[in-house]
Structure 1
Amino acid sequence: MGVNPKAKKVIFLLWILIVPVGMWYTYQTYPPHDADNWVELSAFLLLTVIVATMPIDINNVPIFLIQWITLSTFLSFGLFVEMVFSQIAVIALLLKLRVQKDQYFRFPLNGLMFFIVSLGSGAVFYMLGGQTGVSLVQHPHRLGLAVLYVVLYYVLNQIVLSFYLFLFNGRKVSFFGKDFIVETITTLITFPLGFVLYMLYYQIGLQALLFVGIPFVSVSIIFNRYYSSEKINGFFQKAAEIGHQMAERHEVNGVIDLFIQKLSEMLPVDYAYILETIDDQELKLIRRIEDGEVLSNDLPGLKKNEGIIGNAWVKQKAFLFSSKKEWNDINIGYIHELAESILCVPIARNKKVIAVLLLASKQKRAY
């Protein structure tokens, strides 16, 4: 269940009414220290943006591992700087993910959620006598308050997330569900790293960002590369399984239906068209599926070099488009007006194109 347009407007309005005023209040109540040290602030901000733009992709779900750097920023410069950096991190992440226009509400939504969590946990930390920019190693009480801040941050994040899902998505989720497990694991992994970064920074300065930041970024790159390789191997395995299943079918229509069905399970497909060549002169539509419904094949045929499909036939190469503006000028019929991403592939036998497959999705950058 998606967020309705009215709720999106409310989210934008809440951010405008709460975050700027809250930032001003935070600056006045908990002023930052070392705020004039622009070199070190810039270094922390750069690391924040780098980490934010490198989420770990697991099963097509980006895992945002920014908590450790925001913790170190909070302990080093105070609540206000941590809030500002968190807002910038959210913007950097969503720009990296290239969210679609109808998902722009995620900018103020995530910014508002981070603001509430930061303010709540930070205010309690200061209220209990916590201090930032001080040594933690020689003062167990200070370290204990810093750990309490982490726990509060974690709990508030879960509460705010659950409240959002219930209020705007109508989902009553279990507090100890799958999201809880993922968040718990990332917290246990990343927050200790934040303490290490802060303690090293307090001792040796900016060199700490290199000692901790470079290994973390390297591991993130390696992990994403590994997952991409596993994902590709998974596609190859599924393709082999589809080939075996198709070989068991003896009717042409059965083979085509199975082919489209399996492709739809592997890829986001809203529209699918298969055209076969007729006497090497024309492409004739033999299967047309839109929004999961099989429609009649009464559309006119295509000649060579006509539109995307005709060019794929003649040039014997695949075409990939990420958005409608990339293909709208060369399209000739067939493709639904709501389609964005397109994958058009010629099907060859004995080095001769016998058909052309076109898949389309309403999502941008779906393939």
Structure 2
Amino acid sequence: MSRSKNITVWLIWLAVFPTSMAYLYFAIEPNFQGYWFDLIAFAIVMCAVSVFPIQVGSITILFVNGVSFAVFLYFGLIAEIILTQLALVALFISIRLKKSEFYRIATNSTMLFLTSIFAAVVYYTLGGTHGVLSLSTLDEIIPLVGYVIGSIVVNQFLLTIIDVFVKGNKFSAVPKSLFIDGLTTMMIFPFGLILYILYLEIGVPGIFIVGFPAILLSVVISTYHKGRKVNTYLHDTSQIGHELSKKLNVKSVLDTFITEVEKLIPMSNLYVYDISNSSRSMTVIRHVDREQDKGLEDLSLVYGEGFAGRIYKDQKALIMLSRKQLDKIPDLELPDEVHSAIGVPILRGNSVVGVIVIASKQIRAYEKYHLMLLEILGNFLSVAIENARHYQSEKNKSQRDRLTGLYNYRYFTEHLEGYALDLMEKGLEEKLSVVLFDLDSFKKLNDTYGHEAGNEVLIELARRLEAYIGERGIVARYGGEEFTVLLKGIEHSEAIQLAEDIRYMIAQEPFVIQQHMIEGEDQVKVYVTASIGVATYPDHCESPEELIRQADRSMYVGAKRSGKNRVASAAVAM
């Protein structure tokens, strides 16, 4: 909620509650002499019930309303307001209200206060009184019905105001909470009447005879609801695992993991560390800070250092719920504003290969089930990363040349055919050029310096080509000492110029070889040249599939046979 709305809510509370409460007290002048023990007993039951709220969606159901109803009937409005406000305090303490939600203290206090007053006004208007009631005549029953209906109406009215003006939600003429509110009222207010009647009959023991089952029922239902909530989280966690298993590269795995975890576990910061067990160091590979757009790329820790380093060292999950606990960790890497943190190791076999840390600026932001969820997600992440790396490795083996690391002939031809088919299906026209070249007299180089030296030349040439071409095209090893480059969306003249640049780059800078057969030399510099052929679709062929054949023909006919170390165009060779 915005700062201005927060201030407005508290100003309204200050204007309404303290002054109105003081006025009511002096106007009514309640006298509880001789009933303090009874009121304390009611307060104990109300606070105990408040500690275990029943949550249905966004609606909180409390048996407090039934107890407060009994208090109202016997002791009057002032006692009911005071005990209800005490129960509200107990509720907020039990749910560990976050700092960002402190506005709820003012909104709920004001709402309960106004509901009590409005319902009481209806009750008094219809002739209702306090003390010992027989509840057997219409004169007593009608005010009770008016009290119940009045409390529902004003409660829904105030909830709508809070929902629209405080939370910013859309207005609804028939709010979803109306049905739940009416249903729970039918259950809670009869409970209040039973409590009231039993209190009249046997006094304070009656409060606990009725109150204890109410407390027990609240505990059971609250625990059941919490269990269902955890089961829902576990189901969501399982779905995240399925999503992660679908990703075929590590980046997608990490991106999906972070997106889904942010929905499941409250956080202000998230860190994913990669561990190098050889150097016993940790490096952040993913970082999320909800208040900063930029990532944290340079954070690194060593074995045992900081919060994440301790998890690495101990090889077990860790949860800390206050800044006082966190400050005891030497070299803490978490921001000063963080007050809660959980972390789990990412295990592969018996080794820690990574660490996940989630932090919050709230005190006691996490429970044990959050840590359990994160441990499960950490296992899913470990398996997904391993699968993605295995897939990528196998993919590289099928697409990459083992010696140079460039794409191989199979990938190059499949990519060209697939890209050409995509253009045709979309009805697009785009020029495609293939630059095909062969190293001149490469057999002689192998015979002179050895095949290991020849491999060094091929590896270095691959490195130069990738650095020079970059994102402008696709470089592949065609076979042996032949290489090819696919260029998209450029004119034939530009492709010719790029081929000339490649030829010049190869010919002008010598290749330094270490593994050679020349005795007495540590390293040898050799000069290599290349004959290059260039073809462009649709300038020189009717289909992209013919490009390689046209480029190959232009290389042999136009370059090799014309003296080598030159560039030839398919336009000349045709």
Q: TM-score scaled to structure 2, two decimals?
A: 0.59
> Structure 2 CA distance, aligned partners of 1:14 and 1:184?
28
CA gap of 1:9–1:291, structure 2 versus 1, over 3 A, is closer
One-letter amino acid of the structure 1 residue matched with residue 181 of structure 2: E
Alignment partner, residue 342 of structure 2 = 343
Among residues 79, 103, 106, which one is paired with 1:81 in the alignment? 79
CA gap of 1:329–1:26, structure 2 versus 1, over 3 A, is same
Alignment partner, residue 351 of structure 2 = 352
Shift of 1:292: 9.4
CA gap of 1:289–1:23, structure 2 versus 1, over 3 A, is closer
CA gap of 1:261–1:293, structure 2 versus 1, over 3 A, is farther
CA gap of 1:203–1:31, structure 2 versus 1, over 3 A, is farther
Shift of 1:34: 4.9
> Structure 1 CA distance, aligned partners of 2:165 and 2:234?
41
Note if contact 1:276-1:284 (Cα within 8 Å) is conserved in structure 2. Answer: yes
Among residues 136, 139, 142, which one is paired with 2:137 in the alignment? 139
> Structure 2 CA distance, aligned partners of 1:297 and 1:24?
54
Partner of 2:355: helix, strand, or coil? strand
> Structure 1 CA distance, aligned partners of 2:258 and 2:165?
38
Which segment is superposed worse, 322-331 or 341-350?
Answer: 322-331
CA gap of 1:61–1:136, structure 2 versus 1, over 3 A, is same
Q: Deviations over 1:73-128 (max 9, x none)?
A: 10011111111112212222122222233433433332222222211221232233
Partner of 2:271: helix, strand, or coil? strand
Identity %: 28
Shift of 1:293: 8.3
> Structure 1 CA distance, aligned partners of 2:177 and 2:165?
17
- Work out whether 1:228 is the aligned partner of 2:226: yes
CA gap of 1:154–1:178, structure 2 versus 1, over 3 A, is same
- Work out whether 1:327 is the aligned partner of 2:363: no
Within 5 Å, which residues of 2 pair with 1:177-216?
177-216=175-214
Query: Which is greater in Rg?
Result: 2
Q: Deviations over 1:286-312 (max 9, x none)?
A: 222333988556314211111001000
Alignment partner, residue 298 of structure 1 = 297
Which segment is superposed worse, 182-191 or 59-68?
Answer: 59-68
Note if contact 1:31-1:78 (Cα within 8 Å) is conserved in structure 2. Answer: no
Among residues 255, 258, 267, which one is paired with 2:256 in the alignment? 258
Among residues 81, 91, 113, which one is paired with 1:93 in the alignment? 91
Which segment is superposed worse, 167-176 or 339-348?
Answer: 167-176
Structure with larger RCO (C-alpha < 8 A, sep 6+): 1
Shift of 1:192: 1.5
CA gap of 1:331–1:185, structure 2 versus 1, over 3 A, is farther
One-letter amino acid of the structure 1 residue matched with residue 247 of structure 2: R
Among residues 152, 156, 159, which one is paired with 2:157 in the alignment? 159
CA gap of 1:196–1:310, structure 2 versus 1, over 3 A, is same
Note if contact 2:273-2:284 (Cα within 8 Å) is conserved in structure 1. Answer: yes
Partner of 1:302: helix, strand, or coil? strand
Among residues 266, 269, 294, which one is paired with 2:267 in the alignment? 269
- Work out whether 1:283 is the aligned partner of 2:291: no
**Runs of 5+ consecutive residues of structure 2 not aligned to the other structure:** 367-574
Alignment partner, residue 22 of structure 1 = 20
Partner of 2:42: helix, strand, or coil? helix
Partner of 1:155: helix, strand, or coil? helix
CA RMSD of aligned residues (A): 2.6
Q: Deviations over 1:24-83 (max 9, x none)?
A: 332344444654311211111111111122212445864344211111110011111111
Within 5 Å, which residues of 2 pair with 1:105-116?
105-116=103-114
Q: Deviations over 1:308-348 (max 9, x none)?
A: 01000001111112244432453746534544432111111
Shift of 1:159: 1.6
**Runs of 5+ consecutive residues of structure 1 not aligned to the other structure:** none
Note if contact 1:273-1:358 (Cα within 8 Å) is conserved in structure 2. Answer: yes
CA gap of 1:90–1:279, structure 2 versus 1, over 3 A, is closer
> Structure 2 CA distance, aligned partners of 1:251 and 1:65?
52
> Structure 2 CA distance, aligned partners of 1:6 and 1:239?
37
> Structure 1 CA distance, aligned partners of 2:197 and 2:69?
11
Which segment is superposed worse, 118-127 or 102-111?
Answer: 102-111
Note if contact 1:136-1:143 (Cα within 8 Å) is conserved in structure 2. Answer: no
> Structure 2 CA distance, aligned partners of 1:304 and 1:366?
27
CA gap of 1:58–1:153, structure 2 versus 1, over 3 A, is closer
> Structure 2 CA distance, aligned partners of 1:331 and 1:161?
47
Note if contact 2:126-2:146 (Cα within 8 Å) is conserved in structure 1. Answer: no
One-letter amino acid of the structure 1 residue matched with residue 334 of structure 2: I
